[in-house]
Every structure is written in structure tokens, then in C-alpha cells.
Structure 1
Amino acid sequence: IVIIAGAAWLCLPFSKPILQSSVFFSMLTLAIYSGGYVLIFVEERYFEIVYFLLMPMGFYLAGLLLRLKKKLYLRAIPIALLGLFVYSCWIEPIDYLVRWKGVDRGRFEQSKKLARYDIRGKVASDYRWGLTLEIAFYNNYKYYGTTGHGEGGRDVWEELQENDIDYYFVWDPKFKFGSDSKEIINDEIKGLRVYSLKENSKIQ
């Protein structure tokens, strides 16, 4: 709506000097970014420059409309449009905060439980890269990444040894880790097994 309104405004005869101002280039940037990334949308963060430009441009156009000499009942139209614009700018951030409130609380609780086991050094996981990365962030682990399952667990073990990994997080309950490493958390966290690769379960 802002882009269409701005384009219509720039087409008016009295707005020709604006074509040489920063307003024109801001509108052009909005049009190019929005039109181009709609076709090849990758991630929302690529639209951040559009979001930053959209608010000042929207308020600028609303200010121009309010300065026009109109009858009182016609001035209510740009005021209503301004209210709609402000609402559209605020509704998504508020909705995001409400929907994602406390979303990481469970992961933080998992991190506190793992902190009791004094896990240090490099860690890796079979899958669930994002979840393990958050736990590593809370507990200051050096996270190597994911390994997958390899073939019978043997390839995984060799990869972990080559990269000098100290602890291995296994999220898949069906995966049988092909080594004698000690499992240290004993079902403390549902769905997670943690193996200490420097400790042998047979020696214990």
C-alpha cells in the first residue's frame, strides 16, 4: 500500500522535484527489494532493509496527506489510513512476542540439568542441530555439529575420534552408538543420551 501510494504521489505534477530527492530513491529501493525478493524469497531477514524504510516512508506520505487543505470530513481519511498503518506496524511484532513467549524455557531447563554433569570440551550430536546449539550456548560448550548416524555407528565413532570430541549427544532413541563410551545422564532428560567419549563403560 505504501509503495502504491508513493508511486501515485510521485506521478502528480507538483511532486516532480521529489524525483531528485532521497524520497524517490527510498521508494525505488522499496519497490526493487519487494518485487525482486517476492520471486526468490529465501529468508525473512533479507527484508529487514524494507522494514526500516517502510515506516519512515509511510509516515512521510501520511504527513503529506495531512498537510493538504481539505474539508474536515475529508481529513478523517488520511488520519484513518495513518491509524491503519501504525496498527499494521505494531501487530506483527506483538503477535510474535505473544506466540513465542517462553519458547526456550524448556531448553534452558534442559541446560540447567546438564550443567550438573560438568560437561566440558567439544560436544557433537547425531541430529537436532538447532536444539543442541542452544544448549551449547547456555552451558558454554564448544559445539562441533551433527554427524548423522553413519553406517552401524562405526563411521560416527571414527569421525568423533578424528575431531577429538569429548561428549556425544544422541537424540534418536533407536540409534545404537557403536562404542564402549559411558552414558552419563541416565535418562535425566527425556529423549537424550549423552556419552562421555573419554570414559569407558566397561572399565566403570
Structure 2
Amino acid sequence: MGVAIRTAGPDDRELVVGLLDEAFQSDPVSSWVFPGAEYRRTTHHRLMAAFTDVVPADGRIDVTEDGSACALWLSVPAEDEHGGELAGGQVGDGFARMREAVDPGNERVELIGRLTAGIHPSGRAHEYLWMVGVAPDRQGEGLGTALVASALDRCDRDGLPAYLEASSARGRLLYERLGFAFTGTALHLPDGPVMWPMWREPESYRPL
């Protein structure tokens, strides 16, 4: 049986924020940005809310019909360079403003944005898979894969590549099965985990 997927609307904001907050509590990158379980439990949701609020202007949020999983996508135009239009224009002082709004004393909130923007590919329009969140008690059921695969079908129809940064080795393997390939240069967060930039050409453009 297929997974029913719809586009999130304004009334889904709290659902999406809650899903992302729960899903990423143990994520290596979230754990680096917000070190310490209690600190992360009380603060991490603010960053997830900021991400959720930014996406609708430049992308879309897909959710499963039962509200158990969501995926945040940004549409990046061809003229974009190094993330200049990503996250609603969160570049330069924009990253500092996000830090001020989310957790002013935590420089990593700003740094993660600057570092990922710095490795973001430029030159070609593409879809950017920013985050995929699945409720902890539903993980392992293929819901995240279904969400991503549905969006990749749209990419194939529109002839658009897709891009993401895998935040774990397990995630990297999953995305490879969906047609993504490691770009060759990993992002090593200072005293933290590794992120793997990955690119996927649309099906019709892949070499034989």
C-alpha cells in the first residue's frame, strides 16, 4: 500500500515543528548544534520552527496524510551562488539574525548555516532537500523514503536535479539508493560530525 502524501498548509505548522524536533533530537548535527540532551530538549524546537517558517516562501513542505513524517524542500534558482537565496535569503547577516532569534548565545546556530551555505552547489536550478523528519515511533517503516521518492518523481518530470547534505553515514546509504551521489568533498564540522553533500541528476538526464 502506498503512502498518502500532501502539501502542508499554515495549519500544519505545529505538526511539522513537532515532527522535526522529535525526529532530530538524536541526529549527529543537531546534537552538535545543541550539545547536551536537556539543552537540546528545551531549545532545539526553536530552530526547527525557524526552518519551518522560512520554507513556504521558497519551497514546499510535504507531509504524510497521517502526520507521521514531513520533508522540507527549497527551490534554488539557477543564478544562486553558494546558498545566497537559501533559507529565505539567510545569508550574511541573515544567519546572525537567525541565531539571535533562536539562541543568541549559541554560535553554532549561525555557523551551521554559514558552513552548509558555503558548500552548496551553484550555477544550476535544483531542488534542495533540507530536512526529512519521521516520528520516532514510526521510523524504519519507509515513510521518509516515500516522501523523498515522491518529490524526486516531480524532479524527474521537471528535469531538475536535487541536492542534500546527509547528516549520518546511514542517511548517506539511504540517499545513494535513491540515486544521490556524494559530491566528493565532505563537510567536517569543527569538533563535530561529518556531513556529506549529495547530488542527484533527474532520471531523464542520467548518463547510460
TM tier relative to shorter chain: under 0.3
Larger Rg: 1
More helix by share: 1
> TM-score by structure 2 length?
0.26
More strand by share: 2
> TM-score by structure 1 length?
0.27
